[in-house]
Structure 1
Amino acid sequence: MGEDADQARKSIGARRNPDSADAILDAAEAVLVEAGYSGFSIEAVARRARAGKPTIYRWWPSKAALLFDVYQRLKRVDNPDTGNLEDDLVGFLKNLFSHWHETSSGSVFRSLIAEAQSDATVAAVLVEYTKGRHAHTAQMIERAKARGEVAADVDSTLVADLVASFAWTHLLTNRLDEDEATLRRAVGYVLKGIAADDAGSVNAAAVRRRRRRVIGRTTK
């Protein structure tokens, strides 16, 4: 399930029996597909898996913890390694948006984020999941550092937070159909910044280049 799933499970109790855990996760996924988030419950999962509720709660202390594992199990989003950070981040966002849009994982994650606003248990699980997920995304930044694309003192996790903020905003506002040009522009803002240069304009350098070309022609 990946490093981020392991991070999200730090608070989970006794070691699981792999076969029983898989059966419970299979049942949880089936209940989610059939009943949706609003109809999802530990009781329904226990019936479906023919497992005792105490067993489920021993391995997953809350409905949210179980749902996060189901979400992570559904998630199939790789971090590209193209040799260029901009392409890596654009590819990652394209993969993520497509996955959220084309599977039930987007609605699951959106519901978990919403529930975290009023349920401290869900919020705590979300925080742990986010730490692991952002550390995973930050690997792309670290690879770019090793290639010399990114300054050594850049906080990779903070950059991952900025990318995740863009993704979460689009998930929560149901805008997962952005085209590649928009994704590339957003990534460009993160990587290059939006501040004007010393001449007072982000286009000043281009203006200066044009002026030099004009001056060069007039002096010939």
Structure 2
Amino acid sequence: MADDADRGRKSIGARRNPASAGAILDAAEAVLVEAGYSGFSIEAVARRARAGKPTIYRWWPSKAALLLEVYQRQKRVDIPDTGWLEEDLVGFLKSLLSHWRETSSGSVFRSLVAEAQSDPTAAAALADYAKGRHGHTGQMVERAQARGEVAEDIDAAIVADLIASWAWTRLLTDRLDENEATIRETVRYVMQGIASKTSRTGSR
């Protein structure tokens, strides 16, 4: 049964009520700032948002799912479209490492990755999130394929995984201060493996 606070924010079932969902996300951000990752709980979010726990769990099946949406809501990372994949990937990685380094989101995401190692619900939420985010990187590769820059038989999703793996390794090992030269060298290695024959023989 919903409590009084939950009745104050009427739910519309599995489909989110935008006002209630926004209040819950605002509350989750505030709890995360005040209590940190270790002190974050659905109970604390429910109290602050004046929402019932059933409502929160109806829209976010786990604490990890809610935290990932808070993380994504705060994320400010460039997805460049320069017309040249190497520059797109370098710009993306520079922006991502900078975001993780200069905001609290890096530590939140690192904690979520750690929790996913022992919590199946966190692992499932992280996998769903990664699938969507890697899609953005995959789109960069697909654009390059359409330009003839990347070989047609290259799987864009695998390239996206390779790029994400490099970034996640830096996050998990606290190496977010990689310089641009190292990022460019990494991207160049990837490009050597996926470039079309025309692109390899051409020049810029």
Q: Does 1:93 align with 2:59?
A: no
Q: Distance in 2 between matches of 1:167 and 1:48?
A: 34
Unaligned runs of 5+ in 2: 1-12, 194-204
TM-score by length of 1: 0.80
Shift of 1:78: 2.4
Cα distance between partner residues in 2 of 1:58 and 1:151: 43
Sequence identity of aligned pairs in percent?
Answer: 79
Structure 1: distance between partners of 2:54 and 2:132: 27
Cα displacement (A) at 1:147: 1.1
Q: 1:38 Cα shift?
A: 0.1
Rg larger for? 1
Aligned mates of 2:190, 2:34 — CA distance in 1: 40
CA distance in 2, matches of 1:78, 1:182: 19
Which protein, 1 or 2, shows the higher relative CO under an 8 Å CA cutoff with sep ≥ 6?
1
Cα deviations across residues 99-129 of structure 1 (Å, max 9, x unaligned)? 1111111111100100000000111111111
Cα displacement string for residues 140-167 of structure 1 (whole angstroms, at most 9, x for unaligned residues): 0011111111011110010000000000
CA distance in 2, matches of 1:61, 1:139: 28
How far residue 98 of structure 1 moved from its aligned partner, in angstroms, is: 0.6
Please name the residue that 1:213 is paired with.
none
Quote how far apart the aligned CAs of 1:190 are.
0.9
Aligned equivalent of 1:168? 168
Q: Does 1:148 align with 2:148?
A: yes
Residue type at the aligned position of 1:139? Q
Cα distance in structure 1, aligned partners of 2:64 and 2:135: 21
One-letter code aligned to 1:17: N
2:183 corresponds in structure 1 to: 183
Structure 1: 4+ residue segments shifted above 2 A: none
Whole-Å separation in 2 of the counterparts to 1:143 and 1:58: 37
Unaligned 5+ segments in structure 1 are 1-12, 194-220
Aligned length in residues: 181
CA distance in 2, matches of 1:62, 1:31: 16
The within-5 A match list for 1:14-163 is 14-163=14-163
Q: Distance in 2 between matches of 1:174 and 1:63?
A: 24
CA contact (8 A) 2:76 2:99 kept: yes
Q: 2:59 and 2:49 mapped to 1: Cα distance?
A: 14
Deviation at 1:135, TM superposition (A): 1.3
The one-letter amino acid of 1:20's match is S
Distance 2:88 2:113 in 1: 26
